[in-house]
Amino acid sequence: LAVEEVDGRFLQARDLPDGNLYKMNGGTGDVQNLGFGQPADRSDLDAFMATYTWGNPGDAWWQSTFDLAGYYRFHAVLQAVHHYDVNEGKNYFYFRDPTSGKWSIWPWDTDLTWADTFAGDGNEPFRDRVLAKPLFYRDYLNSLREIRDLLFNPEQLNLLVDEVAATINTPVDGLAMVDADRAMWDYNPILTSRYVSEERTRWGKFYADVPTRDFAGMVQYMKSWAAGRAAWIDGLILTDRAMPNTPTLQYSGPAGYPADQLVFAPSAYSDPQGPATFAAIQWRAANVAWPGLPGYVAGQPNRYEMESAWTSPELTQFTSSFTLPQGVCLPGATCRVRVRMKDDSGRWSHWSAPVQFVPAAPAAAPSAALKVTEIMYNPPAWGNVTGDDLEFLELKNMGTAPIDISNWTLADGVEYRFPTATTLAPGAFV
């Protein structure tokens, strides 16, 4: 087992911009990555911290300088998993995106989390500065509400806990990683020494909090704690009840769920302030996979509902029927579709309960009029541009009717997925 360092290689592995990255500790930051063309003297970090610490900036500064959407998710997860050991200017990173110019905060050192109450109160540098602003707090609650709906709930959390636990508790010859870990850190003779503080740890304490005194009991303890934490969030943080009522959703398309004719009917907009407050409706779909679901492949990682396959833009016109773009839900896989609604105060409802189904093959056969009309393979370099960057395929509509190629995928050598709402007119090519 290993913990990945957050540095330049971390950025490269995730195709993130080459920006300045700082590990924060004691009120300042140590450079973990120096982006090309970025300040090398920490002046960017100093200016950012000085402004939010002493300048009392307004909403516009935060919106232009700080990744607010990312911060809402950061703090929502912080609250969910009790990552409170962040109140002494440590255990997080600052990253400045050189493209947008915005700063973001990333988590680190997450050992004192979940049921641990040893340190901190969760007051990282932005809680009292950002979430004290009504507009930002509203958006934070929207994000927290979404995470509760899609991830931090018993179904999804229990699956995730089991999946992670299995990586260290797959016995070979009767023993697993958890046994080696316990031998080292629970039964180490040094723990009986008078130089080890019993307030921190003591011999044989690993599983003392559960009646079964074993790893399986701790897994169940974590699940129970998470359920209680979710109730705590609902009772103490998600107390604003002025958002729209949670919609319901029904499938209204052809029998068998053909993948190109997935039609859904949401309930009418409903809000405590009345029906005239409607502002937007939004849809999402996720291809989910875990043991027991159709389409799950044994040995492959689970796919959770939080991992959206497609999310619509905010649609300002309510419609009583909606057809999902083709290719969003994959034939043979398990798909979940949800809908939510927003009022004119900017509050989003909870996501509806999901409609879960297994799509069948598309009802319409692929158009024979779509042809590969040109292949540029292995061209020479052109100046500073490598030959690989000059390769291409050309597809052309040779027919007399438009062809919807939304979410069509090229695979096996060339990996590409066409965006949603991509249509080729007769004679057009891409």
CB 204 within 8 A of CB 187: yes
CB 110 within 8 A of CB 99: no
* Token pair for 359: 């799509």
* Residue that has been written with the tokens 């027919």 in this structure: 399
Closest by alpha carbon to 120, among 153, 77, 90?
A: 90
Stretch (H or E) spanning 404: strand 403-404
Give the domains, in start order, of the chain with CATH numbers: 8-146 (no CATH), 158-236 (no CATH), 243-364 (2.60.40.10), 370-424 (no CATH)
Rounded to whole angstroms, the Cα distance separating 6 from 8 reads 7
* Residue that has been written with the tokens 């009767």 in this structure: 174
Stated length of the chain:
430
pLDDT at 411: 75
pLDDT at 194: 82
Tell me the C-alpha to C-alpha distance, in Å, between residue 339 and each of 35, 272, 286, 360. Answer: 40, 18, 12, 22
Rounded to whole angstroms, the Cα distance separating 174 from 176 reads 7
Backbone angles phi, psi at 212, to 5 degrees: -75, -15
Long-range Cβ contact pairs of 229-238 (< 8 A, separation 24 or more): 229/80, 229/81, 229/82, 229/152, 230/80, 230/148, 230/152, 230/153, 230/154, 233/79, 233/80, 233/144, 233/148, 233/152, 234/148, 237/79, 237/141, 237/144, 238/141, 238/144, 238/145, 238/148
**Rg of the chain taking only CA atoms, in angstroms:** 26
CB 244 within 8 A of CB 341: yes
Closest by alpha carbon to 162, among 103, 68, 81, 226?
A: 226
End-to-end CA separation in angstroms for the chain = 45
Per the rule left: phi > 0, alpha: psi between -120 and 50, beta: everything else, 215 is alpha
Crossing angle for the helix pair 134-150 and 215-236, to the nearest 10 degrees: 140
Amino acid letter for position 4:
E
CB 115 within 8 A of CB 210: no
Stretch (H or E) spanning 392: strand 392-397
Rounded to whole angstroms, the Cα distance separating 99 from 96 reads 9
DSSP secondary structure code for residue 399 in this structure: S
Rounded to whole angstroms, the Cα distance separating 186 from 167 reads 20
**Per-residue pLDDT in tens (0 to 9) along the chain, 430 residues:** 678 999 999 999 999 999 999 999 988 999 999 999 999 999 999 999 999 999 999 999 999 999 999 999 999 999 999 999 998 889 999 999 999 999 999 999 988 899 887 777 889 999 999 999 999 999 999 999 999 999 999 999 999 999 999 999 988 888 899 999 888 888 888 888 888 877 777 788 888 888 998 899 999 999 999 999 999 999 999 999 999 999 999 999 999 999 999 999 999 999 999 999 999 999 999 999 999 999 999 999 999 999 999 999 999 999 999 999 988 998 999 999 999 999 999 999 999 999 999 999 988 777 777 888 888 888 898 888 888 888 888 888 887 788 787 777 877 777 788 887 788 888 888 8
Its pTM stands at: 0.88
pLDDT at 1: 67
Rounded to whole angstroms, the Cα distance separating 67 from 251 reads 36
* Token pair for 238: 């998600």
Closest by alpha carbon to 192, among 200, 203, 206, 201?
A: 203
For the beta carbon of residue 295, count every other beta carbon within 10 angstroms: 16
